[in-house]
A = this chain, B = another copy of it.
Amino acid sequence: METTIHVTEKVRLRNPVMIEGLPGIGNVGRVAAGYMINELKMKKFAELYSPHFLPLVILGTDAVASLLKCEFYYYKSPKLDIVVLTGDTQSISPHGHYEICDKVVHFAKAIGVKEIITLGGFAEGKEVDEPRIVGAVNIKKLLKKYEKSGIDFGKDHPVGTIVGASGLLIGLGRTHGIDGLCLMGETYGMPLMTDPKAADRVLHTLSSVLGIKLDLSRLERIIKEMEERIRKTDKIHKKMLSELVKQGKDDQVRYIG
């Protein structure tokens, strides 16, 4: 069995931007992606299954079991088409990360994606009052494009490495000619504690980068609604994250997403 993307709705998109928000430090990326899907009333059009996820099914409160999966949502507007990639988990094996991200990048290319923006948390290891947004790009010219967006490109935060999908998607994207930006919200770094403040800041920067309006007033309420599923899958993320951390642990690897 290989990592597979099932397209459930054929949809024609015009050079969409792809936003990735998978589980990670502070759940920042995932919560931000979930909020966007909710606010923009995005529709699911594809699912990704992988043998590199934990070998289990999750049960909803109604006892309906489903495979661990990632999901692709789309949003069409006259101004901008957007694809969001979110999901239950990331790979539990190092080479699985490469396989999954490689499939995603090929899929992105096939649907015309010109830029991938990955979202995550940047673990400070201490309480953060006003989270800043730390960024990375996959080609120099983007630094100029985003210089006025308030993103800290390493001036105050010398990030050494980005572990997992948020890193590999922009790294592999480059080899396929797709531009990549990674936005990381400063957070305490407790894997199992969702950080709404960091997600709020990431969404704020993202909406400015995309040039769309996102009403963030409902974020805390929506996060509460997401809590049931988050609580359940956080148990799974804990395992997945401990693998990720094992893979990238050192004093410079504080970002995982």
Max chain B Cβ within 10 angstroms of own Cβ: one of A66, A95, A251, A252: A95
Copies of this chain: 4
Q: Which of A139-181 contact B (CB under 8 A)?
A: 139-140, 143, 153-154, 158-164, 167-168, 170-172, 174-175, 180
A56 on the interface (CB 8 Å rule)?
Answer: yes
* A56-B247, A67-B174, A253-B56 as given contacts; A160 in contact with B235, CB under 8 Å: yes
In the complex, the answer to whether A160 meets B95 with C-beta atoms within 8 Å is no
Task: Pick the contact of A154: B54, B57, B63, B137 (CB < 8 A).
Answer: B63
Main secondary structure of the interface of A (DSSP, over half): mixed
In the complex, the answer to whether B250 meets A171 with C-beta atoms within 8 Å is no
In the complex, the answer to whether A55 meets B163 with C-beta atoms within 8 Å is yes
In the complex, the answer to whether A49 meets B175 with C-beta atoms within 8 Å is yes
In the complex, the answer to whether B238 meets A51 with C-beta atoms within 8 Å is no
A123 on the interface (CB 8 Å rule)?
Answer: no
Q: How many residues of A contact B (CB 8 A)?
A: 67
- Contacting residues, chain B, for A164 (C-beta < 8 A): 55-56
* A59-B136, A94-B92, A162-B56 as given contacts; A172 in contact with B67, CB under 8 Å: yes
Q: How far is the CA of A57 from the CA of B253 in the complex (A)?
A: 10
- Contacting residues, chain B, for A51 (C-beta < 8 A): 94-95, 97-99, 102
In the complex, the answer to whether A94 meets B93 with C-beta atoms within 8 Å is yes
A182 on the interface (CB 8 Å rule)?
Answer: yes
- Contacting residues, chain B, for A41 (C-beta < 8 A): none
A24 on the interface (CB 8 Å rule)?
Answer: no
Interface residue ranges, A against B (CB under 8 Å): 1, 6, 49-59, 61-67, 91-99, 102, 135-140, 143, 153-154, 158-164, 167-168, 170-172, 174-175, 180, 182, 232, 235-236, 238-239, 247-253
